[in-house]
Amino acid sequence: MGLLKGKVAIVTGGTRDIGRSCSIKLAQAGARVVVNYHNSKGAGEETVSIIEKIGGEAILVKANMMKKADVDHLIAQTLKAFGQEIHVLVNNVGGLVARKKINEMDEDFFNYVMSLNMNSTFLATQAVVQHMPKGSAIVNLASLAGQNGGGNGSSAYSTSKGAVSAFTRAMAKELGPQGIRCNALNPGMIATTFHDTFSTDEARRNVEATVPLRRQGHPDDCADTVVYLASDAASYITGANIDINGGMYYS
């Protein structure tokens, strides 16, 4: 406890996998955490329970991060529970939705994936920054796919995550004079329900066999980096897109 003592942190999509790990790790570091969910209330309640059992403080707030009214509700509930300042925002909401090649996608599908990954990040950031004092931090979840184009049928997802990376750099420039830092993570293959759903066992074993560290990542590998980037220990780091992929680029 201590790195983030007295800070208020919002984790969008904070109920499972990387989001849950971020919520728990931020609480362990001393932050009071707002765990956001849309559909997975049960998982959210479990995440809050875990935080409370380790002596942390957290609330659960339902909000569809693709809708401004819901985002405004999330901010209002945060301020009501924890005061008038928000110090950490983790934009974790996102997903691939489905693997579709370009000739299989319609406009609605492409727009939905962009909204889920990029619009949610924009709306949350826009709503939070007016409540962030100097020294605050935003951490966005981008992806290795945003750099290399992703796997088969993931062009919409990889495009949206590339946008998140560019948005991160733009916000670092725009918000830096206010003392607000903005960084992103580019996870590779992390052992989550995302890959349980969208990646074959063969693909996952191939990653384990070929990346230098010879394993898939764990959500905590991302969450530990989020805590560091959110803390004063990273006070001169902004605009960075940090690769968390076991050395995949070098395999």
Which positions are catalytic?
157
* Three-state DSSP state, 238: coil
What angle do helix axes 107-114 and 155-175 make, rounded to 10 degrees? Answer: 40
Between the two ends of the chain, the Cα-to-Cα distance in Å is 36
Residues 73-103: b if buried by 16+ CB within 10 A, e if exposed: bbbebbeeebeeebbbbbbbbbbbbbbbeee
Residue 239: both structure tokens together: 């605009």
Q: Which residue has the tokens 């935080």?
A: 51
Beta strand pairing call for 57-62 and 88-91? unpaired
| DSSP classification of residue 104 | G
Which runs of consecutive H residues, i.e. helices, occur in the chain?
A: 17-28, 41-53, 68-82, 107-114, 120-129, 145-148, 155-175, 193-198, 201-210, 219-230
User: Which residue, 209, 173, 207, is CA-closest to 187?
Assistant: 207
- CA 94/CA 104 separation, integer angstroms: 21
Amino acid identity for residue 185 in this structure? L
